[in-house]
Structure formats: structure tokens, C-alpha cells
Structure 1
Amino acid sequence: MILNPHPDNYDFAVNCAVITVSDTRTLESDLSGQIIQQLLQNAGHQISIYTIVKDEPVAIQELLEYLEHQFELEAIIFTGGTGIAPRDTTYDVVSNWLTKTIPGFGEIFRYLSYQEIGSRAIASRAVAGVKNQTVVFSLPGSANAVELAVSKLILPELNHLIKQVQDRK
């Protein structure tokens, strides 16, 4: 049984960015980015920016800095680059950029992933946290992983997290 110890009585649209980190995907072939956008929009949230960035630390860092200063984003969701392969650098850049981490996100995501894919879930470096008043999630690149994370973790808690970091009443 899943408990909700603090029922939320608020519902508002969250201004989001969806960023795919990939050396090969295009806007047309990016199924994971499309899934994230569709799930967010179906829940009533806004997508202010959607883009693909190469899995290069400097490119990811520059994009984060641009997003921080150009948009009034409340949430940024990355997909891709969270594994342990040499080209997987999203986790390193994003986790260093955050001012606070939300350790439970990665822990629970890996637990849920383990239930679906078994022990390979240990290689995921999914992470979430906060920078200023923006909540940031970094997910693996697979379509199944993003559907799991967005449906089971992000959407149920997004408004609550935004309310917390922005001190909304």
C-alpha cells in the first residue's frame, strides 16, 4: 500500500525543459524526449524548450547556464548520458551543477528499475536535485526508463517539489 502522508491540494502547470543528451539522436528519432514531453503535457505541464545536446561536458554545462538565465524554468528533465560508459557525462555535469541533491530519486528509480530489468539497474546514475528554484532530473536514455521515471516518480511529486523549492503557499 502506498501512503500519502501529506495530501496535496494544489494543481498548477509547471514550466519545463526537456533535454536529450545524445551523439546520434535527432528530433525525429528521439523517442525518449518525445515520451517525456507527452507525459508532461498530458498532465497539464508546459514545455518551454526541447532540444538535443551532444554528450560533451562543455556543451551540457553551457546549456545549463543558458537555461538558468534565459528561461523561467521550474523543472529541467534530461534524458541520456547517465550510464558508466566513457561518453556518458550527463551525470557528472548535472550533479556538479546542482546546489542540492534529492538522493531518494536515484535510489527509488534504481529500485523500480531493478524490478523491471534486474541487476543491470546498478549501472544507472539517474539523479535529481535543485538549482536555485528549479528542480532538475537526469534520467537514462531508454524509452522504458523515462516512462518509468516520469510516470512513477516525477509526475506524482513534481508539483510538491516545485512548491517546496519556491516556497509556494
Structure 2
Amino acid sequence: MNSQPHPDTEEIIVNCAVITVSDTRNPDTDKSGQIIQKSLTELNHQIVAYDIVKDEPIAIKVKIIDLAANPRLDVLIFNGGTGIAPRDTTYDAISSLLEKTLPGFGELFRYLSYQDIGSRAIASRATAGVYRNKLIFSLPGSSNAVKLAMSELILPEITHLVQQLKS
């Protein structure tokens, strides 16, 4: 679809942090984190930080607070821990910090996911918003979900959203 009501007038390089929330992944097995980084760098955006944190609410919050203090960063993209299993705490940790939410991100992500995986999309708690003038996206950990969110939602809008935060 990709029709923009007001096209961006300039392309900017967005400085990003990619954080995988997992109790089991490491940099070699973090396929979703690798996909996010590759898709960003293919559009000349910069990866300023990359890390894997345990699916523990305090660890996730500390990571967000630390990253938000970095003046170079514009966007934090988390993946993993967005389901409803007892260990899935990413949504809860992130949503408790957000100062503004972008409900349309989660709504559109679930709509697009529904087209791929059917009614199982209801279990996704993908979300986005703003914390301390940083744009935060929280995606499921599945590689297919990450590809979908990056190609259909994040990459088409990342520059525009960052420009909005800076204006």
C-alpha cells in the first residue's frame, strides 16, 4: 500500500539500538536481532548499540533507561518476550515506561500478522511508543514477525517518526 499523506522531504540516518530479549539466545543464534540490524543498515541507518537481555522486567527497564540516556540514539527496537507465557515480560516492562504510545503500531502489526498466521495473532503484544524522546518498538521474537514488522511498518515510517520527535 505505502501511500504517504505527506512524503518526507529529506532522508536522515537514524541511530538505532537493537535489543533481543531472551533467556536462551546468544549473538550467534539471535536470528531476529540479525534481521533487524541488516534491514536497518541496508537503508544506511546506524546500529549504535546491540545487546541481549534476559526476559526479566527489571533488566529490560534498566536497559531502556540506560539507552535512553544516550544522546546519539533515536530508536530502540526490542524483539522477544511479547507473548502471554509467564516468562514474556517485555510488553509489561516497556509499556510501564512509555510516555506516549503508538497504538496503531500494535493494531496494524496484529492485522498484518493475522493475514499470515490467522487468529494466533491475538496473542501478540507488539507495541510502540516514546520514552525520553526515543522511539521504542517492541516486536515478537519470531523471525517472520520481525521481517513483517520491519518491512511493512518500521522501515517505511522510521524517518518520519524520528523527524516528528525532533521537530
Gap regions ≥5 residues in structure 1: none
- Aligned partners of 2:13 and 2:138: how far apart in 1? 20
How far does the alpha carbon of each residue in 1:127-169 deviate from its partner, in whole angstroms, 9 at most, with x for none?
Answer: 00011221100000000000000110000000000011111xx
SS in structure 2 opposite 1:138?
A: strand
SS in structure 1 opposite 2:27?
A: coil
SS in structure 2 opposite 1:97?
A: coil
What amino acid is aligned across from residue 120 of structure 2 in structure 1? R
What amino acid is aligned across from residue 53 of structure 2 in structure 1? V
Taking only the aligned residue pairs, the percentage that are identical comes to 62
- Aligned partners of 1:15 and 1:4: how far apart in 2? 23
Please, what TM-score do these two structures have when normalized by structure 1? 0.96
Deviation at 1:59, TM superposition (A): 0.7
Residue in 2 that maps onto 1:92 = 92
- Aligned partners of 1:117 and 1:35: how far apart in 2? 20
Name the Cα RMSD after superposition.
0.9
Residue in 2 that maps onto 1:146 = 146
Please, what TM-score do these two structures have when normalized by structure 2? 0.97
- Aligned partners of 1:119 and 1:20: how far apart in 2? 25
Residue in 2 that maps onto 1:51 = 51
Residue in 1 that maps onto 2:155 = 155
How far does the alpha carbon of each residue in 1:37-57 deviate from its partner, in whole angstroms, 9 at most, with x for none?
Answer: 000000110000110000001
- Assess if the C-alpha contact under 8 Å between 2:2 and 2:156 holds in 1: no
What amino acid is aligned across from residue 124 of structure 2 in structure 1? S
Gap regions ≥5 residues in structure 2: none
Runs of 4+ in structure 1 off by over 3 angstroms are none
The size of the alignment, in residue pairs, is: 167
- Aligned partners of 2:28 and 2:36: how far apart in 1? 14
Deviation at 1:70, TM superposition (A): 3.6
Deviation at 1:119, TM superposition (A): 0.4
- Aligned partners of 2:155 and 2:67: how far apart in 1? 21
